[in-house]
Structure 1
Amino acid sequence: MKRIFLIGYMGVGKTTAGRELARVMNLEFIDLDHFIQNRYSKTISQMFEDEGEEKFREIENKILKEVAQFEDVVISTGGGAPCFFDNIDVMNTSGITIYLKASPELLSARLNTCKEKRPLIKDKNEEELLAFVAYNLEKREPFYSQAQITFETEELVNKEEVETYVLGLLRTIENLQQN
């Protein structure tokens, strides 16, 4: 039985890396945000707009606890998931947690190209986005740093480099399991 949770800031590549890691390890892949969207037949943006962040976080907590019972799975969480309720504890006691870590500059550059899909940043210019990312990374670091593995990257995962990136992740997981 394996459960691997990928955590980290939005745009770091949790979904991209998670899909490939699941493929390489022959595990099921779950993107927590997509799982929630399918369950509630609404996008995350719609949920934020219709019900607010607080209600969304309650739903996220409930669904996380559900998928944390699944076996042989890689779960990519939303960027804020580890920072609310007992979510980081749920993940740490249910499986292996991996913090995919990147700098605010890398993250804001990536997010600037797709910010209209993300409710928390859609109205920010480049300067505001960098400040927002830096501020939130600092706020979230105490939660992210509770992961069992921190996998730092100088470059964000893209589809072309994901296989090499995931092989590095896999070696790190294997090292943790041997110790």
Structure 2
Amino acid sequence: MKPIFLIGYMAAGKTTLGRRAAELLQVEFIDLDAYIEARYRKRVADLFAERGEAGFRDIERRMLHEVAEFDNVLVATGGGTPCFFDNMDYMRTRGVTVYLSASVPTLCRRLLRARVKRPLVMGKSAEELGDYIAQMLKQRETYYLQADHTFNAEQYESTHSVDEAVCRLSRLMQESAGESSPGSGAQTTPV
């Protein structure tokens, strides 16, 4: 099976849903940020600080190309991955892309709970965070909406709702894997 790439803003559920969907699909799960950290033996935040955004995005692109060569993988990309270089086009030619979509209020709520883990949002008030997310989504959605499929990741706050979302996402990916040429037309399928 060709690679499946999950894209979307931070806290959309790429890792949470992706890890469990990979188990159901019996494929390997790769979190691109974790993959980069393992390869470089440094945290993404440290690589970003040392090399700047341009340097980090170059590393990210090279590691994306590396994992895209694997079969039977589900890759959770970083929130900015599709927005640099030709990454979005590349992912679409290599496999199937799925945009995990969630509203600004939902992303804000999730990120407020996880502020300690997310350097980009640390120290922001709820209002500042909402404004920041809205601004970033406006910039990035042009890329996100090029995905082969759009998956509504709005409703997963409990274990039961996560399980339901994972089952829906897994079905979408199984159907996509059966297509003759994934990535050959931006047919968006809201699920």
Q: Deviations over 1:40-72 (max 9, x none)?
A: 111111122222222111100010011000010
Amino acid at match of 2:93: T
Alpha-carbon distance in 2 for matches of 1:164, 1:178: 23
Task: Single out whichever of 71-80 and 118-127 deviates more from structure 2.
Answer: 118-127
Alpha-carbon distance in 1 for matches of 2:125, 2:52: 23
Q: CA shift at 1:170, angstroms?
A: 2.2
TM-score (norm 1): 0.93
Alpha-carbon distance in 2 for matches of 1:78, 1:174: 23
Query: Alignment RMSD, CA only?
Result: 1.6
2:9 corresponds to 1:36: no
> 1:43-54 maps to which residues of 2 (within 5 A)?
43-54=43-54
Partner of 1:27: 27
Contact 1:6 1:97 (C-alpha < 8 Å) held by counterparts: yes
Task: Single out whichever of 47-56 and 6-15 deviates more from structure 2.
Answer: 47-56
Contact 1:48 1:119 (C-alpha < 8 Å) held by counterparts: no
Amino acid at match of 2:32: L
Q: Deviations over 1:101-156 (max 9, x none)?
A: 00011001111121232232223221111000011011101100000000113324
2:69 corresponds to 1:73: no
Task: Single out whichever of 43-52 and 61-70 deviates more from structure 2.
Answer: 43-52
Q: Mark the CA change 1:90 to 1:151 in structure 2 (over 3 Å): closer, same or farther.
A: same
Alpha-carbon distance in 1 for matches of 2:168, 2:28: 19
2:101 corresponds to 1:101: yes
Partner of 2:164: 164
What's the % identity of the aligned pairs?
46
Q: CA shift at 1:2, angstroms?
A: 2.6
List gaps (5 residues or longer) in structure 1. Answer: none
TM-score (norm 2): 0.87
2:180 corresponds to 1:144: no
Alpha-carbon distance in 1 for matches of 2:100, 2:82: 13
Amino acid at match of 2:104: P
Q: Mark the CA change 1:31 to 1:157 in structure 2 (over 3 Å): closer, same or farther.
A: farther
Alpha-carbon distance in 1 for matches of 2:158, 2:73: 22
Q: Mark the CA change 1:149 to 1:138 in structure 2 (over 3 Å): closer, same or farther.
A: same
Partner of 2:187: none
Q: CA shift at 1:34, angstroms?
A: 0.1
